[in-house]
Structure 1
Amino acid sequence: MTPLDSERDPHAVAEHGVAEHGVAEHGVVEHDVEQVTPTELNAWRRGFTPQAEIWNGRLAMLGLSVGLSVLLVARLASH
């Protein structure tokens, strides 16, 4: 079922646990979210895509780890 189908059929929306106003049962507003399969998450895609966001987070954590490691080694080497 696509997001457009759920807009046309209010009963289909209720089947997925989303109220008629677009608010899920747990209080989070559902927006147009691109569905991605687990095998597709590691794809290298540019733009505002889930894959780009995942790689952005991974590279940010890598950069933070490398930066902190360099500071730690520099501090240990100075003593």
Structure 2
Amino acid sequence: MTTQPQPTTTPSLEEPKFGFNEYAERLNGRAAMIGFLILVVIEYLTGKGVLAWLGLR
């Protein structure tokens, strides 16, 4: 049985980013687009606006 050689270098990992960064903004934009699409589908299927569907109007 042969043993696997151990890695001789450690991978360079990026530091975690917080706050406004490109990934967070992209994720937020995609979530907003999905939410807007869901609202349009709800209005189409129910024939009511979202506020009426939620019972707020």
Q: Normalising by the residue count of structure 2, what TM-score does the alignment of the two structures yield?
A: 0.54
Relative contact order (alpha carbons < 8 A, sep ≥ 6): 1 or 2 greater? 2
Larger Cα Rg: Structure 1 or Structure 2? 2
Aligned CA distance change for structure 1 residues 68 and 35 (closer, same or farther; 3 Å):
closer
Match 2:35 to one of 56, 61, 65: 65
Q: Normalising by the residue count of structure 1, what TM-score does the alignment of the two structures yield?
A: 0.41
Deviating above 6 A after TM superposition, structure 1's stretches of 4 or more consecutive aligned residues are none
- Structure 1 residue runs of 5 or longer lacking an equivalent are 1-19, 23-29, 43-50
- Count the aligned residue pairs: 42
Identity %: 5
Q: Distance in 1 between matches of 2:44 and 2:38?
A: 10
**Root-mean-square deviation (CA), in Å?**
2.6
